[in-house]
Amino acid sequence: ARCFAVIPAAGSGKRMGAAIPKQYLTLLGKPVLQHTIERLLAVAAVERIVVALAADDPRWPALPAAFDPRVMTAIGGAERADSVLAGLRALAAEARPDDWVMVHDAARPCLRPDDVEKLLAELEGDPVGGILALPSVDTLKEVEGRDIVATVDRSRIWRALTPQLFRYRPLTESLERALAAGATITDEASAVEWAGRRPKIVEGHPGNIKITRPEDLPLAEFYLRQQT
Ligand code: CTP
Ligand code: MG
């Protein structure tokens, strides 16, 4: 099977609260989205990368990545899942049903090559796919209002990261059906789970953070520096 990538990059970064979307903020002299695309371009197995952008994104044309022959764009949608689906549809002419699609957040520029290799290796031959994830380090509480009602069994709880790697057809169909049914879909795995399948988890590196709030920016620079 061949391997493609989709990068949802159409968000507005509300929690960051910056003047521009967080994927265009600069880390170590380079926009977040440029870092992220370079991480996936470095993966030899990835034949093509679709970046889902906001309509009329004014900053995209200035990114060096926009000129890479392996990179193409699609227009994203209102929610992350809509953006991912737009990216998948842009691959419709090229991708076969069992080709792999690696979906990776634009806001995770610190992705390590080792993690990508591990994900590809551990899912090789799998009929569905799976995701990078991290075991929870904190004790987890179930809460009503501000009252703790239970302590969750932490050994069963993992935090979902990206990349998430799925076969093209099951992923596309799961997303289409789950969205049409109005299900809450926050990552690719949740759509595939909704469709009744069981994605695998592969333990990732804690440095693969999602840039969400201002405090994440120096942390991301720390992890990027570690790798250069
Ligand atoms: N994303 C997208 N299309 C959307 C919403 C999000 O492509 N309609 C992308 C973001 O650009 C980001 C990734 O999905 O790369 C993860 O989403 P998140 O961290 O929530 O980014 P934002 O939605 O931009 O941030 P916020 O939720 O704080 O507004
Ligand atoms: Mg969001």
pLDDT tens digit string along 116-143?
Answer: 999 999 999 999 999 999 999 999 999 9
Any ligand 1 atom below 6 A from CB of 96? no
CA angle 48, 163, 26 (to 5 degrees): 80
Q: What is the mean pLDDT of residues 76-105?
A: 98
172: pLDDT confidence band, cut at 50, 70 and 90? Answer: very high
CA distance 57 to 24: 11
C-alpha 150 to ligand 1 mean position (Å) = 31
81: pLDDT confidence band, cut at 50, 70 and 90? Answer: very high
Any ligand 1 atom below 6 A from CB of 13? yes
Any ligand 1 atom below 6 A from CB of 210? yes
pLDDT tens digit string along 194-213?
Answer: 999 999 999 999 999 999 99
- Tell me if residue 105 falls in helix, strand or coil: coil
At residue 202, the pLDDT reads 98
Q: Which ligand is nearest to the CA of 9?
A: 1
**pLDDT at 27 > cutoff 90:** yes
At residue 10, the pLDDT reads 98
CATH of domain 3-226: 3.90.550.10
Going 186 to 202 to 161 to 85, the CA torsion angle's sign is negative
C-alpha 146 to ligand 1 mean position (Å) = 28
At residue 127, the pLDDT reads 95
At residue 40, the pLDDT reads 98
- ipTM for the assembly: 0.99
Strands of the chain, DSSP E = 3-9, 26-27, 30-31, 46-53, 71-75, 100-103, 129-135, 141-144, 147-151, 158-167, 200-203
Atom of ligand 1 nearest to the CA of 105: 15
- Residue extents of the structural domains in the chain: 3-226
Reported pTM: 0.97
At residue 79, the pLDDT reads 97
Q: What is the mean pLDDT of residues 101-120?
A: 98
Q: Using CA positions, which residue lies closest to atom 6 of ligand 1?
A: 11
Atom of ligand 1 nearest to the CA of 212: 19
**pLDDT at 228 > cutoff 90:** no
Judge whether 191 and 101 are in contact, CB under 8 Å. no
